[in-house]
Structure 1
Amino acid sequence: MRTDAVQRVLEAELVAARERRDGADPLVLDVGGGSGVWAVPLAAAGCLVTVIDSSPNALATLRRRAQEAGVAERVTAVQGDADALADVVPDAGVDLVLGHGVLEVVDDAETAIAALAAAARPGGAVSVLVANRYAAVLGRALAGRLGDARRLLDDPHGRVGAHDPVLRRFDSAGLSELVAGAGLAVEVLQGHGVVSDLVPGAVLEAQGAAEALADLELAAAHRSPLRDVATRLHALGRRASA
C-alpha cells in the first residue's frame, strides 16, 4: 500500500478490525474501485475485498492486477454501482467501506454516503476520498484560467459549468457535514496531496528528497489551512457500535 496519509489511516483501521474480529481477516467493500488501485494492496495486506464498479473494463484491470499480485482468491469483482450495494453485500456486512472518488460523480451524494454507511458493520468504518474545491480553484488560477477559477469558487457545487464532468467538489466543512449526516462519527478529516502535487519532479531527483517530501506530506495532512487546499480531502467515519 501507499506510504501516505490515507494509507496510514487504513492500516490502523485494519488493525482495529482484526481485533474486533478476534484475528479474522477484515472484510472490505471498495465502491468504484474497479481498477484495483486500493483493492489489490488491501488484499495483499490480508483483507477479503469485494469491489463494485460500473465499468467492465476497470474490473478486467482489477482481475489482471489481482492475478499478477497473487491475490485473485481474495478479490471479488462485481459490476454495479453505489445504488446497488444492498444487492452485493447485506447491510452491516463489512468492516471497512471505501468510497474513493465516488461522491463527486454520483447523482445523489447523500444517498450514496447513506448506502456506504449502511454496508459497514456496527463499529466499522467508511473511508471517502473526494476532490477539493479550493485546490481546483488554485489550480485553475495558477494555470491562468481565471474565469474557470472564479466559477469554481462561486458555484454552489464547485463546478466550472454544465460541461464539467465532476458533479461536485467539496470543502472540509461540506465533507464533514455529509459524512456526519449519514450517521457516522467523523474521526479523521485530512488532506491528500497537500504539497506532493505541487513539487516539480526535478526536485525529487536530489538525494533524500522523496523521503523528505513524504514526511512533509504526512505532517501537513492534518494541519489547517494546508489540509483545506489539498488536491483531495479524506474522511473516515465510524458507524456506532451495537
Structure 2
Amino acid sequence: MSDPMRPRASLRTAVVWEVLRDALDRQVKTTGRRSLDVLDSGGGSGNFAVPVARLGHRVTVVDPSPDALFALERRAAEAGVADLVTGVQGDALGLFDVVDRGAYDAVLLHGVLEHMDDPAEGVTSVAAALRPAGTLSLLAAGLGGAVLARALAGHFTEARTALGDPAGRWGEADPVPHRFTPDQLTGLVEAAGVRVGAVHGVRVFADLVPGVLVDTEPGALDALLKLEAAAAEEPAFHAVATQLHVLGEKTAPAESATQEDQSLRPARTPL
C-alpha cells in the first residue's frame, strides 16, 4: 500500500504522520491488540483519521461541521475503511456529550487548540478521553514561525506585535486566535496529566520555500521532506516552526501529581 502522506501536500503533514504511525505501532505492541481505539477531535474530513483506519485501527472523529463529517464518510468509503471510521458531531469542549471518558488508546488534537477560547481546558478534556498509558498527539500553531513569516514578508511591525502578544497574534486581522511557544504547549500537556515524550517542529521550511522551486526542481520535494524530518526533532528549530507537535503518554493519577517535582525541565512560561 502506498503511503497516503507522500504527495505534494505531505510537506504539511509528513513529519506528524511518521511520528504518529510509529507511536501507534508501539501502542499495538504494548497493548497486544492489533486494532486500537483512536479519537480524532476536530478531525474534519479525515486527513489523519482515514490513514489511521487504513492501518487497521477504529477511529472516531468528533467535529462540529456536518459538511466535514459528510466528506469524512465519503473519504472513508473510497478508502475501503468505512467500517472502521465513525463521525460524530461535537467539539472538544463538549467532548463527553458524545464520547466516553477513558475509552481511547490514542487521541489526536490537530490544528484545533489554537482556535479554542480556553486552550488549557481543551487539552484537559482530550486527555481525559485517554486510557492509562494512552497516547496524545497534539498539533498547534507555533509563535516563532508566525513571527518569522511576517518579518520575511516585510511586515516588521506585525512581527514585533506577535512576538510581544500573550496570544501570539500579529494584529486584529490575524485569523489565528492563539499561538504557542514550545514551553507553553508542553506546559499545557503536562498540566493535563500527560507526560511529554517528544516535541517536533513542523513546517520549519515548507512555508518559506517558493512552491515553484519545489514543483520544478528535480528531486526537490523529496529532499525538502527529508530536511523537514531531520530538523523536526532538533530543539533549535522548534522556535521557528509554523506548527509544533507534542507526543505524550497519559500518566497514572499518582504519577501525574508528582511528575513536575521529578522533572528537570525548566519552568514553563504561562499563557
TM over 0.5, yes or no? yes
Q: 1:234 aligns with which of 229, 242, 245?
A: 245
Judge which range, 198-207 or 67-76, deviates more.
Answer: 198-207
Give SS of 2:40's match: strand
Deviations 1:110-143 (A, max 9, x none): 1110011111110111111011111111111111
Q: Percent identity over the alignment?
A: 47
Judge which range, 58-67 or 93-102, deviates more.
Answer: 58-67
Query: Conserved in 1, the CA contact under 8 Å of 2:114 and 2:178?
Result: yes
Give the corresponding residue for 2:261: none
| Structure 1 runs of 4+ with >6 Å offset | none
Deviations 1:160-201 (A, max 9, x none): 344533221001111111111111100011101111222222
Q: 1:2 aligns with which of 1, 5, 25?
A: 5
Distance in 1 (CA, whole Å) between partners of 2:223 and 2:111 is 27
* TM-score where L is the length of structure 2: 0.85
Give the corresponding residue for 2:180: 170
Give the corresponding residue for 2:132: 122
Amino acid aligned to 2:164: D
Distance in 1 (CA, whole Å) between partners of 2:51 and 2:80 is 11
Q: Say if 2:57 is the partner of 1:30.
A: no
Q: 2:123 aligns with which of 70, 91, 113?
A: 113
State the aligned residue count: 242
The Cα of 1:227 is off from its aligned counterpart by 2.2
Q: Say if 2:228 is the partner of 1:225.
A: no
Distance in 2 (CA, whole Å) between partners of 1:163 and 1:207 is 38
Give the corresponding residue for 1:140: 150
* TM-score where L is the length of structure 1: 0.94
Give the corresponding residue for 1:199: 209
Distance in 2 (CA, whole Å) between partners of 1:65 and 1:148 is 39
Give SS of 1:43's match: helix
The Cα of 1:146 is off from its aligned counterpart by 2.1
The Cα of 1:207 is off from its aligned counterpart by 2.5
Amino acid aligned to 1:195: F
Q: Say if 2:92 is the partner of 1:65.
A: no
Q: Which runs of 5+ in 2 are unaligned?
A: 7-13, 254-271
Q: Which runs of 5+ in 1 are unaligned?
A: none
* RMSD of equivalent CA atoms: 1.6
Q: Say if 2:55 is the partner of 1:45.
A: yes
Amino acid aligned to 1:2: M
Amino acid aligned to 1:158: G
